[in-house]
Amino acid sequence: MIEKLKHHRDNFDLRIEGVSSLQELKQLRSDFLGKKGCVSLMLKEMRSLPSDEKPEVGKYINEFKQSVEILIQGKSENLEIKLEQSSVSGEDFDTTLPGRGELPGSIHPVTQVMDEIISIFFSLGFSVEEGSEIETDFYNFEALNIPKDHPARDMQDTFYIKEETVLRTHTSPVQIHVMENQKPPLRIIAPGRVFRCDSDVSHTPMFHQIEGLLVDEKISFSNLKGIMDIFLQSVFGHQTKLRFRPSFFPFTSPSAEVDIECVMCSGKGCRVCSTTGWLEILGCGMVDPAVFKFVDYNSEKYTGFAFGLGVERIAMLKYGINDIRLFFENDLRFLKQF
C-alpha cells in the first residue's frame, strides 16, 4: 500500500510540473482529491488492511493529501498571476490608480475544528463514514436500544417529519448502517449535522457532531480511555488533564462522561466551569450487547466502544467563545478572527 502511495506521489509530481492552465489544474485536483480520485480510492482500500497496519498507512495518506492540497494551491496562485499579467499587458492600464483593498476569506471556525478532529482520528486508523440527515425511528432510536418511552423521544427534543421519520438527533445511526453491512473489526467516525429542538447560549437547533465506534475482539474500557487521552491532548495540548465520570446512555454500558481540566482557569475554578475546575467534553462507553443483537454481531466474541462529541462545544472551549450562536450569525467581525 505504501509502495502504491509512493507511485501516486511520483505521478503527481510529474503531472503538476506539466500543468499550464487552470483547467488542467482542475482536472489534476479531481484525479487526486475528487470523490473518485486516488486519495478516496486508497482510503477505501485501507479498510481491508489489518488493524495494526491502518494507523501507519492512514498517516502516509493524510500527509500525501495535505501535500497535494498545498502544491495545487501554490500552482493555482502562480497560474492566476500569469493569467492576470497576460491580460493586463494587452490593455491600457494606469498603474498610478489607488488599489482596491481585498478582504481575505478563511475557513469557518467550526469547519476548522471538525477538520482537525477528523485528521486526529484518521491518524489513529479511523475511517470516515457518512449517512442521511433524515432517519427512520428504527435507526435513530430503536436500534440504539432507546425504547419507545425514553425521554429522548420527547417532541421537545426531536424534530419529527412523520410518525416514523425524524431529523437525526445524533450521527449514531451511521454506526448501525455500517455494522449492518460490514463485519468486525471496525474503526470508524461519523461526522455530520444533527438536529434537536433546543436554542440558547449553549445550544442551537442544528449543530455538528462526530461519533466514533471501534469493534474488535478483546476491546476493553482501557482501549477507550487510551484513545480519548490521545485525542483530547492532541486538541487542547499535552498538559491537558481528564477524568471519567460514570453516566448512562441507552446504547453503551458501562457509560461515562469525560471532563477536561478547565481551559479558562487551569483547574482553579471560575464562572465557566462553575468553580469546579472541570468542563464536560464528551460522552462514551462500551457498546451495549443489546445493540449488537440488532446488527447480528456475536457479543460473546466481539466487544467495542463508542463515543460522541459536539464540534461546536470543542470549538467554544478551544477559542474561548461564550455563545454558540456566534458561529451561525455570519458576523464578519467575529469570523475574520479565524
Q: Where is pLDDT greater, at 319 or 256?
A: 256
Q: Which band of pLDDT confidence, cut at 50, 70 and 90, is reported for residue 83?
A: confident
Q: Which band of pLDDT confidence, cut at 50, 70 and 90, is reported for residue 288?
A: very high
**Would you call 33 exposed, middle or buried from its count of C-beta atoms within 10 A (0-12, 13-18, 19+)?**
middle
C-alpha distances in Å from residue 285, one per residue of 228, 253, 307: 11, 6, 7
Are 252 and 288 contacting, i.e. CB atoms less than 8 angstroms apart? yes
Task: State pLDDT tens for residues 267-276.
Answer: 888 887 888 8
Q: What radius of gyration, in Å, describes the C-alpha atoms of the chain?
A: 23
CA–CA gap between residue 253 and residue 181 (Å, rounded): 24
If residue 306 lies in a helix (H) or strand (E), which one and from where to where? strand 303-310
Percent of the chain with pLDDT over 90: 46
Percent of the chain with pLDDT over 70: 96
Predicted local confidence at residue 202, as pLDDT: 63
- Does the global pTM surpass 0.85? no
Q: Which band of pLDDT confidence, cut at 50, 70 and 90, is reported for residue 338?
A: confident
- Which residue has cell 465557566? 272
Task: State pLDDT tens for residues 15-49.
Answer: 888 888 888 888 888 888 888 888 888 888 887 88
Expressed in angstroms, the distance from the first to the final Cα of the chain is 37
CA–CA gap between residue 24 and residue 30 (Å, rounded): 10
What is the layout of strands, in order, in the sheet containing 160-162?
134-136, 165-167, 160-162
Single out the residue of 239, 167, 187 nearest to residue 47, CA to CA.
187
Single out the residue of 249, 64, 62 nearest to residue 150, CA to CA.
249
What 3-state DSSP class applies to 37?
coil
Question: How many angstroms from the chain centroid is the CA of residue 308?
Answer: 11
